[in-house]
Homo-oligomer: A and B are copies of this chain.
Amino acid sequence: MIYPLTRELFSQFWPTFKAIAQAQQTYAYAADITEAEAYHLWCEIPQLSFAWVEHGEVLGCYYLKANAMGPGDHVCNCGYMVSAAARGKGIARQLCLHSQQQALAAGFSAMQFNCVVSTNEVAVTLWQKLGFAIVGTLPKAYRHSDLGLLDCYVMFKTLHQD
């Protein structure tokens, strides 16, 4: 079930968020980001934030916000995270589909991901399956903890009611 991402649910999810930040392999967050900073980025700045909860456990979450202001505010941006133990079960897919519906309902007409690390094949492939295209490549824009400087993709989808 998907619920609004409250402070309590975010706190439950924080160990996963922290592990993802510490890994320095997919998200552009400082390794030592605090829970308060992460909560601000995912639940206070964004317009909407949701949690995927099963048997009382938060297995994933996402945020949705405008990617730009004024004449660019019809394009939204989302971020998704799924706990390590819950990967491969289609939760990221469900979160992304849910976010596209929420984006349309909120009046957005496109969705943009600004920095998909090129080695994150699971994400790149999933977003492509869901209709996102790679519209840009940022050379060596990410310092991967194992692989060093890596390209990132900008991915984009024009949204429409299916």
Binding site for B on A (CB under 8 A): 21, 24, 27-31, 33, 68-75, 110, 112, 114-115, 135-145, 152, 154, 156, 158
Contact B24 A70 (CB under 8 A): yes
Copies in the complex: 2
**Given that A74-B143, A110-B141, A143-B74 are contacting pairs, would A69 and B28 also be in contact in the complex, using a CB cutoff of 8 Å?**
yes
Q: Which residue of B lies closest to A154 (CB)?
A: B136
Contact A135 B144 (CB under 8 A): no
The CA of A145 and the CA of B70, in the complex, are separated in Å by 11
The CA of A31 and the CA of B135, in the complex, are separated in Å by 28
Residues of chain B contacted by A144 (CB below 8 angstroms): 71
Contact B110 A70 (CB under 8 A): no
Q: Which residue of B lies closest to A66 (CB)?
A: B28
The CA of A33 and the CA of B70, in the complex, are separated in Å by 9
Residues of chain B contacted by A73 (CB below 8 angstroms): 28, 30
Q: Which residue of B lies closest to A137 (CB)?
A: B135
Contact A158 B140 (CB under 8 A): yes
Residues of chain B contacted by A74 (CB below 8 angstroms): 143
Q: Which of B30, B135, B145 lies in contact with A139, CB distance below 8 A?
A: B135
Contact A29 B69 (CB under 8 A): yes
Q: Which residue of B lies closest to A152 (CB)?
A: B72
With A28-B68, A30-B69, A68-B114 given, name 8 new contacts (CB 8 A): A21-B70, A27-B70, A29-B69, A31-B70, A68-B141, A72-B152, A114-B114, A135-B138
